[in-house]
């Protein structure tokens, strides 16, 4: 006789934050059959003008991409109708102001209260969920570095002889390091099939 294996019922999971981490969690959890609600304070109607590197611990082969393109794909995997498991529900313009980690409840700015079996805080560096769990505000520690970034149209490089080192045969990232003792670095790489160039400028920052 075959042994009877009981399957636990699906959980209701509440995720706070619909950034890359929140949507990645929602996409994974729906595949396991769980009912997922994602609460996001913004309306997600503005494109974030930045590119990112997806490292080898997140994907089999590291690659460069526009952040918005990755975000859109994770949103499709989380809420799309053609994926495995029940689609996650995405609640935009819903700011979470507090969390009771013992009762498993979220309170929104509009006064609504939602309860779940599990709450996941994916709400960034100023996390409301982290503060609710710890009972105090955990401030970000200074890293000693600052970073500026921008994107520009790759066609802007055409005809610029002094940028041949970057534009000719471009297939990946380029790094420029300052010879000075204090660390300064430019990190450039293409995204969106080479139509956009992402520039990241790192430098030492002694401010607290």
CB 96 within 8 A of CB 110: no
Pairwise pLDDT comparison (77 vs 207), residue with the higher score:
77
Predicted TM-score (pTM) of the model is 0.86
Distance in angstroms (rounded) separating the CA atoms of residues 100 and 115: 9
With beta carbons less than 8 A apart as the criterion, state whether 3 and 106 touch.
no
The residue length of the chain stands at: 208
CATH number for the region 12-134 comes to 3.50.50.60
Q: Read off the pLDDT band of 207 (50, 70, 90).
A: confident
Report how far residue 122's alpha carbon sits from residue 29's, in angstroms, rounded to the nearest whole number: 14
Average pLDDT, the chain: 91
Q: Determine the pLDDT at residue 163.
A: 86
Mean pLDDT of 142-154: 92
Sheet holding 105-108, edge to edge: 96-100, 105-108, 113-115
**H helical segments located in 120-207:** 128-134, 164-167
Question: Residue 131: is its pLDDT beyond 80?
Answer: yes
Is the sign of the CA dihedral 48, 53, 54, 60 positive or negative? positive
- List the chain domain ranges: 12-134, 145-204
């Amino acid at each position: 006789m075959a042994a009877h294996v009981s399957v636990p019922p699906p959980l209701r999971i509440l995720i706070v934050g619909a950034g890359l981490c929140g949507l990645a969690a929602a996409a994974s959890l729906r595949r396991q059959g769980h009912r997922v609600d994602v609460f996001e304070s913004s309306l997600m109607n503005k494109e974030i003008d930045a590119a990112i590197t997806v490292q080898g611990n997140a994907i089999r082969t590291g690659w460069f991409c526009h952040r918005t393109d990755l975000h859109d794909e994770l949103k499709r995997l989380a809420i799309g109708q053609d994926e495995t498991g029940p689609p996650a529900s995405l609640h935009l313009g819903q700011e979470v102001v507090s969390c009771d980690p013992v009762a498993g409840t979220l309170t929104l700015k509009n006064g609504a209260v939602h309860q779940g079996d599990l709450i996941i805080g994916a709400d960034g560096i100023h996390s409301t969920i982290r503060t609710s769990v710890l009972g105090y505000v955990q401030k970000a520690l200074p890293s000693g570095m600052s970073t500026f970034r921008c994107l520009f149209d790759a066609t802007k490089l055409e005809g610029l002889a002094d940028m041949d080192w970057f534009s000719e045969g471009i297939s990946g990232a380029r790094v420029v390091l300052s010879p000075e003792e204090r660390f300064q670095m430019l990190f450039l790489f293409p995204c969106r099939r080479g139509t956009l160039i992402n520039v990241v400028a790192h430098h030492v920052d002694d401010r607290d």
